[in-house]
Chains A and B, each alone.
Chain A
């Protein structure tokens, strides 16, 4: 039976259909042959991740996983990483629910209760968050179920339950921001909060590890140590999700009850005020208050003006700056490592070079999407009397300059403390950066700059390969610091990824 029009299930069905189509088309494209190749690609990735999971958790399950507190602490620590990542994503998704103008004018002007829209969107955020989390943990859960028993499959429903709690927390954070700083600043603050939440855990742990041991290590270790310290090493409610994930039905029921309560409370608190807050958010406009001093034409040429335009557009958008700077947050441990090891560590060189390449790749990918797919006046630029390659060259120069400004301080530190690492690190950064730009060039689309984080208009495949290429170059760069020959061999997967991207490139590109 179809849901009544305007009801929560009716809105949810609509949200689900839209999300599903976006996800399906984004992941697999529309063409038959491309879809088959994309499926093969994803199966290969999944198999690789399962092999990696088997390698990582193999020692953990070799003697069977007990219900000991240290084991529960390790499981909880690993889960914490995924929960924090989900929270980061949920804050952004919930905030977007308030600011997405697309259909709000229609929905809020209709007699359907605004509360129903918000409830449906909150459920959708929960579901999306749960599916993404389940996908992320699936290699580990499947390997654990295979090696230590099917009870580990309970980790999937636990993921859904935790996603409910995470979404409720994201709703409370967003409402708090609205009340505390108003709609004008909430979007930026929430996006910064989202990025900080996502990056802080990783950066904090890496920094502490670097300062204590001189090299980054695994994420779970320090969190587990911290949890054991906080709980005193005894039985605690903190272990509830870990117990539930191991097949303890009592623990699962309790966790599910708490999660349902959190979601209900979040919906109750926020549902009534949603329409008012959404209208307040939508009535905010950007740019009206910004008046600049009288502008004189500089006489610069077309290429220089193209570069200046890109720099101005990024610099004048606080959200883009914050999002880009968040990607640079990962460079903070590099500074710490350079300063505190001061050339004494043999481990630091490869790690520094690898992380620098990674940061350069990520930053370049984001900026390349902004300047190429996020071009606001695409038709204007395309009708300009310039060769397309000149336009692309100017954009690449603009990206390269921004990336150079970001990573030059780290390169300077390297030159001073680890001069032998500098050439390889710089080459790795250039190659990772070039790969990310190539990916965005070959998969260029048309996207709204506000959807920078989601790389709107670019296929999911492009976003994933951009990240994979950056990771592969980072690995190869780290290895190359130790041995150039080994580094060249380690670079083969990175080159293969770029080749794969070229094969999958969009055929119909505008002239």
Chain B
């Protein structure tokens, strides 16, 4: 197996639609890190993450997931990662247990292990009572927690989350955050986009700021504060300052 210190390495990644959406982004994210990607609407965050997850093909550049070239060997790369989007990817006519069995099967998790993990995850996310009910009547928060359970059932090394907290109430958001922090403690790497900067601030070990398809700043909160010349300010203030500076330039 290929070993790498980085869970994710992106080099000169480009993708254009009508105009460049991702314009030569390079990033290295070490294993076991909680990485938050910030940027205004239309900055290219989702396009970048969709390329990393193998849903979208880049025009050029390279992506390595845990040392595996994701473009040359997408199946091996996908085996190591999980993708959760802001729209829960859940089947309304399946029950949570049937859904988790399906996802575990896609990632070839042995059924006895999968069954045990499924029950643990449903307990952990307070969904055990609904384990045998169809997902069709679930709330947005329950569906999002289901999608997260699906992402975790194969114990991925790299978890990519695109706005996972959108639409969640405070309780559900807290549960999701606790689960994610626990996964990082156990060695997983998380790359997450969010517009809720108050949430991102205490969780993020490192932050990347994207605007117009490029990384305009990257580092710890302290480094970003230093760069924007606003020592001691909140992440929100730093972010707005960095984006405004970029727009002015």
Residues on A facing B (Cβ under 8 Å): 285-302, 304-306, 308-309, 312-313, 316-317, 376-387, 510-511
Contact = CB atoms under 8 A, between A and B. Distances in A.
9 contacts: A292-B95, A295-B101, A299-B112, A306-B102, A313-B91, A313-B93, A377-B90, A385-B75, A386-B106
Contact of B111 (A292, A294, A298, A383): A298
B174 interface: no
Contacts of A377: 89-91
B132 A511 contact: no
Contacts of A511: 54-57, 74
Contacts of A298: 101, 111
Given A309-B102, A383-B53, A384-B106, A297 B114 contact: yes
B18 to A, nearest CB: 12
Given A295-B98, A302-B105, A286 B136 contact: yes
Interface in B95-149: 95, 97-98, 101-108, 110-112, 114-115, 118, 131-137, 147
Contacts of A384: 78, 106-107
Given A288-B137, A297-B114, A382 B91 contact: no
Nearest to B53: A383
A286 B137 contact: yes
Nearest to B79: A385
B132 to A, nearest CB: 5
Given A288-B137, A292-B95, A387-B75, A302 B106 contact: yes
B51 to A, nearest CB: 10
Given A302-B106, A383-B54, 14 more contacts: A286-B137, A288-B136, A288-B137, A292-B98, A294-B132, A297-B97, A297-B101, A299-B110, A313-B91, A376-B92, A379-B85, A383-B53, A383-B83, A385-B106
Given A305-B102, A381-B106, A384-B106, A297 B136 contact: no
A435 B83 CA distance: 34
A286 B92 contact: yes
Contacts of B85: 379
A300 B54 contact: no
B181 interface: no
Interface of B: 53-57, 74-79, 81-83, 85, 89-95, 97-98, 101-108, 110-112, 114-115, 118, 131-137, 147, 150
Contacts of A285: 136-137
Given A298-B111, A305-B106, A287 B137 contact: yes
A313 B132 CA distance: 15
A297 B118 CA distance: 10
Given A295-B98, A383-B82, A511-B57, A376 B91 contact: yes
A385 B101 contact: no
Contacts of B104: 297
Max chain B C-beta neighbours (<10 A), residue from A289, A292, A297: A297
A379 B51 CA distance: 12
Nearest to A384: B106
Contacts of A289: 137
Contacts of B77: 385
A342 to B, nearest CB: 42
B93 A287 contact: yes
Pairs A-B, 8 closest by C-beta atoms:
A287-B136, A288-B137, A299-B111, A305-B105, A377-B89, A384-B106, A385-B79, A385-B78
Contact of B107 (A376, A385, A387): A385
B92 A287 contact: yes
Contacts of B54: 382-383, 511
A263 to B, nearest CB: 37
A329 to B, nearest CB: 24
A382 B74 CA distance: 11
B93 A316 contact: yes
Given A296-B115, A383-B53, A317 B93 contact: yes
Contact of A295 (B90, B132, B150): B132
A74 B82 CA distance: 64
A293 B85 CA distance: 30
Contacts of A380: 83, 89, 103, 106, 147, 150
A316 B134 contact: yes
B107 A309 contact: no
